[in-house]
Structure 1
Amino acid sequence: MECNMCKKTTNKCCSRCKLKYYCSKSCQKNDYANHILVCPQRSADILVKGVYRDLIPTNPAVLYEYGFENCMTPLDQTNLFGLYIGLIKIIGCDASQLHSWWENGELPLNIKKAYDDGGYTINADKMISLAKPHLSKHDQAVPFRSLPESKRHVGIFYSIILKGFLPTIELPHWIDFGFCACKVRNIYRAGELSEEVRLQYLYQDLIVEKGCKIDEFHDAYISGTVLDLIKRKCDKTKTSWLSASKIETFGYNQPVKSVYNLKQYILSDSVNMIPAIRVDYGFGNCRTKDEEKQLKNMYKKLIFAPQFDAISLHKACIAGKIFEYVSSILPNDVLRADLLRNPYPLKEY
């Protein structure tokens, strides 16, 4: 038989479908994105096939095994699907890995490990190919993993944008490059772009149309002026909405308003609660898991409310008036003031 890729003679075939032949692991890997679309298999294979077709799965087994049944809204399903897109297309996890993780009861743990910087950058040399032309000649000539962490973050972000993706909520890019400040919507209307997609298009314009190189973007990232770079390089007709929508970006290792960490924690099932969230937003007042779940569900409902504004919640937090703010957005909900207490405003000494 002939190798499906290079046409060399071989007797090795796909161990699952027994239909496609490959002379080497390299050829099989190079054909993976095409072959998975026609190779029927386990729930993990159906999920991977859906990722390459950009279709959220409907198969009951996939919905159960990979967490989609736990999603409360269509947007929750979209966000979870985005997590799997990043895991499969960018990080490079395959169906066998996913199936093994699920079978061993370690799916959430291994997804988190894969998204950690260490595991993420193992595959960086492979995924950086799209962004490589935007690097300086010097940086193109050295291994990507040898670049400073801040520049690796920018290179990975370029790859995500150039692939036409949004950064998943679990990645630091989601906060650093302003997607955390975009409004979250429950309902999407035909022809109406979400703020996250509008921001994605601005980055595409900056990188592709305006030709912004990674060194220039990296300098802005280090100094915390990425938003200024966008406004300076891109047309005002495309950037005028940024100020009205209170979009803000953050520099490398720059302090971040804890309200954005709260959004990240509330909107993702695989992000851990950091101490700032526990102190600022009342989780430290919870005495049981049920109270913690109750508070988390309240914040999720708040974030999805059309009137919600992250900066207003941040201001209410530092003024010690979270209960008043939440009550103004969710007036018909039974709220517990005791869970929404925080140490603010701090006393002056």
Structure 2
Amino acid sequence: MKCSVCENPTTKRCIRCHTTYYCGSSCQKKDYSNHVLDCPSKYADILVKNVFDNVIPTNWAVRYEYGFRNCLDPIDESMLLGLYIGLIKIIGCNSSRLHSWWKSGNLPFHIKNAYDKSGYTSEYYKWFLKNEHVLQGLRKYEGTKSDNDLVNKLYEIAKPYLSEHDQKVPIETLPESKRIVFIFYTTMLSGRIPRIEELNWIEFGFCSCKFDDDYLGEMEERRLGDLYRELIIQKGCKVDEFHDAYISGSLLDLLKKKCNSNDCDWLSERKIEIKKHNQPAKSVYDLKQYVLGESVSLQRSVTEDYGFKNCRTEVEKENLKNIYRKLIKSPKFEPRDLYEACLEGKTYHYVRSILPNETLNANIFKNLYIF
């Protein structure tokens, strides 16, 4: 990861939110006035913000402390979010009360009590009554220690897919490309899809899926995830075979060869792109990751290709980010079309064609390297 201030490589991160990276105390102090606005004193504040934004939490601590890590299926994550939406938006529970319930160690009891007293019920609450286990035994997020506990659990799930030799050696001794594949297996086998902020969201083609108008905009990404699970679980694809295809850039061919023909036709129709290891991603996918993700660093390619280099103030930069967010969420948006427009120096014209009613500054969208 990169320091959010100087962009130097670092593995250190804010001990409170665990999402923003700094190379040292100097850069952390420089960013304090900005970061304090995004780094609340309790994780319930972040959860409440996610609820009002209608997005499943991506903050590691929120997911750990409020049950999302215990969901083995994306649908269950959606149901849990719906439970919190009812609790916060309709019943009126605030972050302080939610935090105190969590701190008491009996969050499920208090949620049931709040719903029963209010008389409000929903499909999400009915789901919860059958799945209370996702909110049982919740503990404080302790950064690396908590992450390691989860990693160890996921490791045991994915370990049988490794070769006999690789099962006997530490994961960190495997080649980088195989470690990437193994992490991807843990994600698929736990019923999830990579989050936008993760490397594997780009590495394995989720970035090329269209943002849908369904509840979370992830319908196509989930469909791609189901295809991978069919390949891995139903067809028994081991890590070595998957890794060979990843290295050679033939993962799409592997999916088409072994999976359901109708879904494979969808791969071609939607022009899903899966790159090979160490192949640079198209800058449009870095743009999508920056615009749709949380606490994602602005990559140099995005800065230079999509107008952020032309922004004179942070306000202009944030306004441009919001424009691209609206663009990407538009049903008419196609990432490859934006990428081609960028290469031809026609980014402004493309954005204007999709968002005709937006106030746009043509000079902002100029690519300084195209004449």
Normalising by structure 1, report the TM-score: 0.68
Offset at 1:163? 0.7
The reply to whether residue 290 of structure 1 matches residue 319 of structure 2 is no
1:180 counterpart residue number? 207
Offset at 1:97? 2.9
The reply to whether residue 149 of structure 1 matches residue 193 of structure 2 is no
Structure 2: distance between partners of 1:263 and 1:328: 19
2:344 counterpart residue number? 319
Change (3 A) 1:46 1:194: closer
The reply to whether residue 234 of structure 1 matches residue 259 of structure 2 is yes
1:78-97, aligned counterparts within 5 Å?
Answer: 95-97=139-141
In the alignment, which of 65, 85, 107 is matched to residue 48 of structure 1?
65
In the alignment, which of 104, 118, 131 is matched to residue 158 of structure 2?
131
1:278 counterpart residue number? 303
Structure 1: distance between partners of 2:298 and 2:225: 27
Offset at 1:121? 7.9
Change (3 A) 1:291 1:151: same
Structure 2: distance between partners of 1:286 and 1:62: 38
Structure 1: distance between partners of 2:175 and 2:255: 23
> Mean Cα displacement is larger for which, 275-284 or 122-131?
122-131
Taking only the aligned residue pairs, the percentage that are identical comes to: 46
In the alignment, which of 80, 89, 95 is matched to residue 61 of structure 1?
95
Offset at 1:303? 0.2
Change (3 A) 1:121 1:218: farther
2:335 counterpart residue number? 310
Structure 1 unaligned spans of 5+: 1-40, 66-88, 99-109
SS at match of 2:141: helix
In the alignment, which of 290, 297, 300 is matched to residue 265 of structure 1?
290
Structure 1: distance between partners of 2:369 and 2:62: 50
Structure 2 unaligned spans of 5+: 1-41, 45-60, 72-76, 100-133
Offset at 1:148? 1.1
| Contact 1:317/1:344, CA 8 A, preserved across alignment | no
Change (3 A) 1:149 1:47: closer
| Contact 1:125/1:145, CA 8 A, preserved across alignment | no
The reply to whether residue 204 of structure 1 matches residue 221 of structure 2 is no
Structure 2: distance between partners of 1:295 and 1:331: 15
Offset at 1:234? 1.2
1:297-340 per-position Cα deviation (integer Å, ceiling 9, x unaligned): 00000000000000000000000000000010001111110110
| Contact 2:197/2:294, CA 8 A, preserved across alignment | no
1:2-23 per-position Cα deviation (integer Å, ceiling 9, x unaligned): xxxxxxxxxxxxxxxxxxxxxx
In the alignment, which of 160, 167, 183 is matched to residue 194 of structure 2?
167
Structure 2: distance between partners of 1:148 and 1:174: 20
Offset at 1:238? 1.8
Structure 1: distance between partners of 2:309 and 2:63: 41
Amino acid at match of 1:48: E
Structure 1: distance between partners of 2:224 and 2:62: 32
1:25 counterpart residue number? none
Structure 1: distance between partners of 2:306 and 2:97: 32
Amino acid at match of 2:174: L
SS at match of 2:231: helix
Amino acid at match of 2:212: R
1:168-192 per-position Cα deviation (integer Å, ceiling 9, x unaligned): 1111110010100011124339xx9
Structure 1: distance between partners of 2:258 and 2:307: 41
1:300 counterpart residue number? 325
Amino acid at match of 2:214: I
> Mean Cα displacement is larger for which, 296-305 or 54-63?
54-63
1:148-177 per-position Cα deviation (integer Å, ceiling 9, x unaligned): 111111111111101100111111110010
Structure 2: distance between partners of 1:254 and 1:125: 30
1:39-87 per-position Cα deviation (integer Å, ceiling 9, x unaligned): xx9847897244236312335317999xxxxxxxxxxxxxxxxxxxxxx
Amino acid at match of 2:175: P
Change (3 A) 1:284 1:62: farther
Structure 2: distance between partners of 1:266 and 1:212: 34
